[in-house]
Amino acid sequence: MIAFEHVTKRYGERLALDDVSWRMDEGECVVVLGASAAGKTTLLRLITHETQPTSGRVIVGTFRGGRLPRGHRALLRRTLGIVYEDFRLLPDRSVFENVALAVRIAGRFADSEVIPRTLRALEEVGLHQHQRALPAELSFGERQRCAIARAIVNRPALLIADEPTGALEPRSASEVLDLLRRIHREGAALLVGTTRPEVADALGGRRLTLVEGRLSEAAAHPAPSGAAGG
Amino acid sequence: MAIFFLREAWRSINAHRGLAFTAVFSMTAALTLCATFLLVSFNVQRALLAIGDRREMVVYLKDEASDADVKLLQDKITQYYGSSTFVSRAQAWSEFSQQVGDPELLQAVETNPLPASLRVKLRPELQNFAAMDTCAHEIERFPQVEAVRFGAEWVRRLDELNDDARRTALAAGAVVALAIVLVLYNTLRLTVVARRQQVEIMNRLGAGDRFIAIPFVIEALLEVLIAATISLGLAGAMSYAASQRLPSVSFLPPAWSLAFVGGAVVLGWLASTLALTRILRTVGP
């Protein structure tokens, strides 16, 4: 599903990832653990093609390395569900509209399917009562659940979450982690980047530890020979 | 999906009313200029066409040409150039007499010196200087013909005036096209920058450029449509005001009005599509 082959990423003089190789299979749960600026977000951004490796190759499904054309990048992102620490919700849209937007962007569903799909996703995250609310009217935990609803509404095979509990107080964080665990149990692969070991403990799964841009030896997974996508 | 895009466009206009108003105002100014030139050009063309209807060529006949010769020449002229009317020597003298009006002066001329002639009304496609000049030379070669006159200088000036009017309208059209492209480009750039957060989020969710661009294009088209309609209204008012002094002035016919609005909308579509292709590449991850 995902393979990194000797990936190095530099931002000018700063080395964000240093010769990183690992892979993740379908349905797997992987938690990338590391301190702030260890390279977790860079690793996730490489998967979504928001940035390009300085050297090495990133394979995501059938999308293999190199700089993808804009159309292919959009297509790749439509196959993923992504949750950000700061939620990235549209402030002038209701909860319902934020989630429905992802359904429309996917372009795979008829107009008549948009409402039921969106409502189902909101129900799954327990937000159907707040569907008309604007993000500003929600608590941080509810906003993150809205972002998760948006990420799962198209049933992606892989859900990527970058510090999903970073902005949340313990109770909301626990609810969000329960939700992510449930989504994983239902079949989606889960890739979470976090600074908090307790998040890794709660989610279980395989743990990769990033230290100053390098995967720690104990957690590193050998690069697949002739690496195939998932 | 169409309703979704329309709603998005309306939401954008509503959220950035100031920008939308500025865009409509600027484009209205540019399009009004264009509509004015179009109106002037249309009326000049109408006037020239009316004058053109009076363009005629006089073919002076040799005295020895018989009735049969004249009939033969008339047939040829009808076949190749247009309709002709025979003016006998007596008719010519009579018309001349009426024009001069002074009997003493006329008595001084002992015999009628005027030749018989054919007054030729050329077909519309031959009513320009180059074609008339060619026709004159061709007709002059007929053996029955003494000379051909058609007021060459006057016809040439008329044609030049017509060409100038058309060129001015085209130049105005080009300036307005450029103005619309610039106005739309900058308005869309500002709108996209104002909605940068939305565009970035949609990009991250996997929206393609087309999906993101459609509402902005609809917004631009609505603005152009409003501006073109207002411009046409203003041109109508100007035409009405002018017709109070010059009754021959008339407003653009429906086909011209539709072509004006349609042309503006097509231009708006091209400009906004091109602009967004460039702008969206600079926004988003």
b/e burial code for range B272-284 (CB count within 10 A of at least 16 → b): bbebbeebbeebb
User: In Å, what is the CA distance from A28 to each residue of A1, A5, A23, A151, A205?
Assistant: 9, 19, 10, 17, 7
Inter-residue contact B280 to B213 (CB < 8 Å): yes
The answer to whether the CB atoms of A150 and B203 lie below 8 A apart is no
- Choose the mutation target among B4, B201, B205 for the interface with A, i.e. most A CBs under 10 Å: B205
The residues on A that touch B, with CB distances below 8 Å, are: 45, 48, 50-51, 70-71, 74-80, 82, 88-92, 101-102, 104-107, 111, 150
Q: Which of A75, A89, A111 is opposite residue B206, by nearest beta carbon?
A: A75
**What pLDDT digit, counting tens, does each position of B204-259 carry?**
999 999 999 999 999 999 999 999 999 999 999 999 999 998 888 899 999 999 99
Search chain A and give the residue with CA nearest B1: A111
Share of chain B above pLDDT 90, in %: 33
DSSP H or E run through A19: strand A14-24
DSSP H or E run through B87: strand B82-87
The answer to whether the CB atoms of B285 and A45 lie below 8 A apart is yes
Q: How far is Cα A59 from Cα A7, in angstroms, rounded to an integer?
A: 11
Cite the beta strand spans of B113-252 per DSSP E: 117-122, 145-149
What stretches in chain A show pLDDT beneath 50?
A: 218-230
Q: What is the pLDDT of residue B284?
A: 67
The answer to whether the CB atoms of A77 and B206 lie below 8 A apart is yes
| Chain B environment of A90 (Cβ under 8 Å) | 197-198, 201
The answer to whether the CB atoms of A48 and B204 lie below 8 A apart is yes
Q: What is the pLDDT of residue B52?
A: 63
Q: What is the pLDDT of residue A169?
A: 83
Q: Residue A42 gets which letter from DSSP? A: H
Q: Is the pLDDT of residue B110 over 80?
A: no
Q: What is the pLDDT of residue A20?
A: 94
Alpha helices, DSSP H, located in chain A: 40-47, 70-78, 95-106, 111-124, 140-152, 170-185, 197-203
Q: How far is Cα A80 from Cα A60, in angstroms, rounded to an integer?
A: 10
* Nearest Cα to Cα of residue A96 among A64, A61, A123, A66: A123
Reading phi first (left if > 0) and then psi (alpha if -120 to 50, else beta), residue A14 is in beta
Q: Which of A71, A74, A104 is opposite residue B4, by nearest beta carbon?
A: A104
B56-149, CATH topology level: Alpha-Beta Plaits (3.30.70)
| Residue linked to tokens 């009076």 | B54
**What pLDDT digit, counting tens, does each position of B69-108 carry?**
899 999 999 999 888 899 998 888 888 888 877 777 777 7
Q: Which residues contact A60 (CB under 8 A, 6 or more apart)?
A: A1, A2, A47, A49, A76, A80, A229
CA distance A165 to chain B (A): 20
Alpha helices, DSSP H, located in B54-111: 67-80, 89-100, 103-108
b/e burial code for range B75-113 (CB count within 10 A of at least 16 → b): eebeeebbebebbeeeebbeeeeeeeeeeeeeeeeeeee
Inter-residue contact A159 to A151 (CB < 8 Å): yes
Please give the radius of gyration of chain A, using alpha carbons only, rounded to the nearest integer.
17
Search chain B and give the residue with CA nearest A46: B285
Q: What is the pLDDT of residue B54?
A: 61
Q: What is the pLDDT of residue B239?
A: 93
Q: How far is Cα B266 from Cα A103, in angstroms, rounded to an integer?
A: 31
Search chain B and give the residue with CA nearest A82: B205
Side-chain half-sphere CA neighbours of A218 within 13 A? 5
Domain boundaries, chain B: 2-50+158-281, 56-149
Q: Is the pLDDT of residue B276 over 50?
A: yes
- Average confidence score pLDDT of chain B: 87
The answer to whether the CB atoms of B205 and A102 lie below 8 A apart is yes
CA distance A48 to chain B (A): 8
> What ipTM was assigned to the predicted interfaces of this complex?
0.85
Look at strands B145-149 and A189-194 and give their pairing. unpaired
Q: How far is Cα B5 from Cα B213, in angstroms, rounded to an integer?
A: 10
- Choose the mutation target among B4, B196, B201 for the interface with A, i.e. most A CBs under 10 Å: B201
Task: Compute the count of residue pairs across chains A and B with CB atoms less than 8 Å apart.
Answer: 54
The answer to whether the CB atoms of B207 and A74 lie below 8 A apart is yes
Inter-residue contact B56 to B122 (CB < 8 Å): yes
* Nearest Cα to Cα of residue A39 among A218, A194, A212: A212
**What pLDDT digit, counting tens, does each position of A161-196 carry?**
999 888 788 888 888 898 899 889 988 999 999 999
Q: How far is Cα B217 from Cα A50, in angstroms, rounded to an integer?
A: 26
- Report helix, strand and coil shares of chain A as percent, to nearest 5: 35, 25, 40
Q: How far is Cα A68 from Cα A74, in angstroms, rounded to an integer?
A: 9
pTM over 0.95: no
Q: What is the pLDDT of residue A94?
A: 95
Q: What is the pLDDT of residue A229?
A: 34
Q: Is the pLDDT of residue B192 over 70?
A: yes
At A16 the three-state DSSP class reads strand
- Choose the mutation target among A49, A105, A159 for the interface with B, i.e. most B CBs under 10 Å: A105
